[in-house]
């Protein structure tokens, strides 16, 4: 699950043990007011303190100054976990973007109150799929952020959704199984990763066909229909998205080593291309 606020309850940091992260919602009977010194009044006071001392400073120091934003979404992990996790991620992305101050950038707004005039939604780990599946991954992400993107565009911001990999850990191949040819990826799974009864040791390279990404079933409350690891046995799930070890990179003579990537150039073009002209 991703949508689990308040965040500081899960990762309190320097607030560990503080009353600011020890409150809960309590409902009053209709038409009644809580008396001073009551448990309800104490919870309400702590909630207001949390908003004033934690939430507002965070937005003031971070989100309030952003004029471009990239939102990373681990869509493949959610698909691995099942339809419920994918729906939860969709709600999370919508809640996050509702926090942005979006709109068309003007001279006054850039000085007094910056607005995010470009928001890029990026599905990470595109290297865990064959490129033939990248369009479907982007379509899934676009469907998940549809409401958030529409809200931002109505305010005057531009949005896009792409599949990326900051570091490409695999390469592509075609695997023959009988008379069938499957588009596969080749890489070194991290130690402990497994498919069915096979567990990888972190040193052996292997070719994997992770499965085709799911499609949205229209007319059924727009539900996702597939079996993830959370709802079926490991060998019976529809997908097998593993974690891979980063590649070993050798530098050419007289040059710095360059890590392979997928569409970072497109991401940078969308976010800051207009600033480099």
Q: Can you give the pLDDT at residue 219?
A: 43
pLDDT average, residue stretch 211-221: 62
Is 171 a residue whose pLDDT tops 90? yes
Reported confidence tier of residue 17, pLDDT bands at 50, 70, 90: confident
Opening angle at CA 264, ends 263 and 268, nearest 5: 120
Q: Can you give the pLDDT at residue 233?
A: 52
The answer to whether the predicted template modeling score (pTM) of the entire model surpasses 0.85 is no
Is 108 a residue whose pLDDT tops 60? no
Secondary-structure class of domain 66-167+262-275 per CATH: alpha beta
Q: Can you give the pLDDT at residue 216?
A: 59
Lowest average pLDDT, out of 11-15, 16-20, 63-67, 76-80, goes to: 63-67
Give the residue extent of every domain in the chain: 37-65, 66-167+262-275, 171-236
Question: Other CB atoms closer than 10 Å to residue 33's CB: what's the count?
Answer: 10
Tell me what the pLDDT averaged over the chain comes to: 83
Distance CA 124, CA 219 (A): 29
Q: Is 194 helix (H, G, I), strand (E, B) or coil?
A: strand
pLDDT digits over 173-187, tens only?
Answer: 998 888 888 889 999
Reported confidence tier of residue 113, pLDDT bands at 50, 70, 90: low
Is 110 a residue whose pLDDT tops 50? yes
Query: How far does CA 50 lie from the centroid of its chain?
Result: 26
pLDDT digits over 116-125, tens only?
Answer: 889 999 999 9
Is 217 a residue whose pLDDT tops 50? no
Is 226 a residue whose pLDDT tops 80? no
Beta-sheet pairing, 206-208 with 198-199 = unpaired
The partner residues of 182 in beta bridges, in order of sequence, read 175
Is 104 a residue whose pLDDT tops 60? yes
Residue 241 or residue 228, greater confidence:
241
Is 18 a residue whose pLDDT tops 90? no
Distance CA 6, CA 19 (A): 14
């Amino acid at each position: 699950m991703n949508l689990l606020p308040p965040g500081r309850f899960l990762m309190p940091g320097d607030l560990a043990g503080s009353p600011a992260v020890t409150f809960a919602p309590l409902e009053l009977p209709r038409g009644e007011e809580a008396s001073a010194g009551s448990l309800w009044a104490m919870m309400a006071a702590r909630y207001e303190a949390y908003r004033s001392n934690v939430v507002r400073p965070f937005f003031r120091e971070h989100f309030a100054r952003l004029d471009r934003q990239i939102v990373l979404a681990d869509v493949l992990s959610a698909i691995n976990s099942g339809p419920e996790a994918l729906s939860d991620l969709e709600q999370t992305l919508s809640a996050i973007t509702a926090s942005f101050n979006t709109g068309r950038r003007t001279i006054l707004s850039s000085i007094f109150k910056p607005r995010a005039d470009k928001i890029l939604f990026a599905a990470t780990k595109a290297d865990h799929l064959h490129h033939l599946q990248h369009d479907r991954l982007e379509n899934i992400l676009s469907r998940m952020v549809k409401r958030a993107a529409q809200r931002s565009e109505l305010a005057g911001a531009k949005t896009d959704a792409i599949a990326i990999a900051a570091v490409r850990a695999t390469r592509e191949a075609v695997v023959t199984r009988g008379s069938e040819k499957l588009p596969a990826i080749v890489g070194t799974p991290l130690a402990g990763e497994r498919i069915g009864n096979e567990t990888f040791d972190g040193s052996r390279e292997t070719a994997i066909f992770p499965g085709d990404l799911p499609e949205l079933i229209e007319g059924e409350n727009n539900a996702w229909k597939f079996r993830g690891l959370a709802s079926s046995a490991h060998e019976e799930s529809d997908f097998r998205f593993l974690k891979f070890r980063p590649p070993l990179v050798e530098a050419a003579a007289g040059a710095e080593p360059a890590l392979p990537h997928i569409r970072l150039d497109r991401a940078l073009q969308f976010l800051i291309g207009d600033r480099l002209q």
